A and B are shown apart, each in its own frame.
Chain A
């Protein structure tokens, strides 16, 4: 985005921020900048659809992205009660998207989209901007997911478009984990002479072995929030334990020891804590420790011999919640734990549901599910419970949702 464009967008946004719209009620808890709605209801939004080439695909992509944000009541254009997104061809190779309040006529966002190669990415970025203008926090249409299929790492856009296998090392390649800047990812690669953690650049494909993972079975990598360290589990003859290694190099530091296997470490967003799975009580359960390995304790309560196997923790972006899966009657289901309240919420109930990962907006979860037949990825909105199938590949699993991706990151 050029500076001129930034200035234009800012120019449009500033009046909204500083001059409340007439209808805005700043006391209602559901209010966000720009749009008023009662708590529990969603603002109506219409995306005008066009038949002209270029405009038609942008309209469809925008409508789907905004629908998948689960924040709007999507309505037909003629019923436009709340907000209307319209498009205008400004000349060759450029379309302008406008977000307009249907009642006041005020335009609260106007963004150009270049038609051509970057159309999809630019359209997703505008959809996220519309969500940001409406709710103060951008949408997730520009994000992407990594997952495993047939022992290979795949990538798919958050709207399910463009699923493709990446060129990676190893067979199988497992457990992809995003770097916090979204530019690289780590995974386990089974090569002939070992099972190292590999760090791979998304754009260039350049790979290297994480120092100290040349020996042993190195699994379940997770980047620290500052991107400088990777926690992972290493299996040796004595068992499996959690280690932390600096991405820049150096000897890994062991964080767990003693009875049982320890694996699947994930960092809290502030970097101070690591949740992990331990078999020390006899079956795999959820534990937490300080990032230096001290203060290890049970995180999700369980009853010996009664509570099902617990696995695959994922810390929410705001640090408040931890998702994981736990067997209920022998069938894995996704749960969300709120440690500060001690409350546990079961999210899924149909089919086998495993390996949750948080969207960067902290309200959507992706998980692998058998509810549609083979294992495929499903996305659930935790606020409405609405679920959509992301992949139709029969065999997609171990998903990892990206952080927010800056423009220019490989897609």
Chain B
């Protein structure tokens, strides 16, 4: 922690101080050094520690804030009465996909899945390029709202895959929101390994199943 908070210059100063204190064979004959004693070193270490603890507190703060924000956003986007009503029905299969209202080429672009590496939730270069195109599309059609679905291959633990899929969807959403797409236009969900795109247990099938999909929740027009 201290190492991270102190710049190179500070380390150089500490090392120089240490050399001056312990390393000079004949201090009497040496020219008077720049005033640098153990008190100064202590002070500079203490200052660094203070900066470090402030930085730590700021980081903790920002993590807590991010979580509070994401709770607040989720609560704001939720429809508790709908959830309670829908739970009273026996299992219904998922709703049929909503039409995007986009021209065919753009509709296809929006529907292209992003793929992930095994057990990873960060974006590949290829995914970023594709996502940049979707970003442009979302900018062009400001009414369009989407849900990002995170999916996994069948290999990991079933329940862990729900969390992994959630992380994948959240990563994609953050990429879009960080580039100016309004938060309320993008929701996330994870299906873990529950809805594979491709059946089978080959590397080919797995790589097609580690993906984020894009569903329209509000048509472009």
Contacts and interface: CB of A to CB of B under 8 A. Distances in A.
Interface of A: 151-152, 167-175, 189-196, 198, 207-209, 214-217, 219-220, 233, 235-240, 257-258, 261, 263-264, 277, 279, 283-284, 309, 311-312, 325, 330, 332, 354-355, 397-398
12 contacts: A172-B191, A174-B158, A193-B78, A198-B87, A215-B77, A235-B163, A237-B174, A257-B64, A279-B160, A283-B119, A330-B155, A398-B159
Interface in B50-73: 63-64, 66-67, 69-71, 73
B87 A312 contact: no
B171 to A, nearest CB: 9
Contacts of B40: none
B13 interface: no
B189 A217 contact: yes
B63 A193 contact: no
7 pairs of A and B residues whose beta carbons are closest in the complex: A311-B157, A215-B78, A235-B166, A214-B80, A191-B86, A193-B82, A237-B70
A203 B174 CA distance: 44
A193 B86 contact: yes
A397 B158 CA distance: 9
A167, A214, A264, A277: residue with the most chain B Cβ atoms closer than 10 Å: A214
B78 A214 contact: yes
A331 B136 CA distance: 42
B84 A279 contact: no
B91 A217 contact: no
Interface in B80-105: 80, 82-84, 86-95
A387 to B, nearest CB: 21
Contacts of A312: 157, 159
B87 A170 contact: yes
Nearest to B78: A215
Nearest to A254: B67
Given A169-B86, A209-B84, A214-B83, A261 B167 contact: yes
B25 to A, nearest CB: 46
Given A235-B190, A238-B170, A261-B166, 10 more contacts: A169-B90, A172-B191, A192-B82, A193-B86, A194-B83, A209-B80, A238-B67, A263-B159, A354-B158, A398-B159
A279 B157 CA distance: 13
Contacts of B174: 237
A189, A237, A325: residue with the most chain B Cβ atoms closer than 10 Å: A237
B83 A284 contact: no
B87 A217 contact: no
B84 to A, nearest CB: 5
Contacts of B199: none
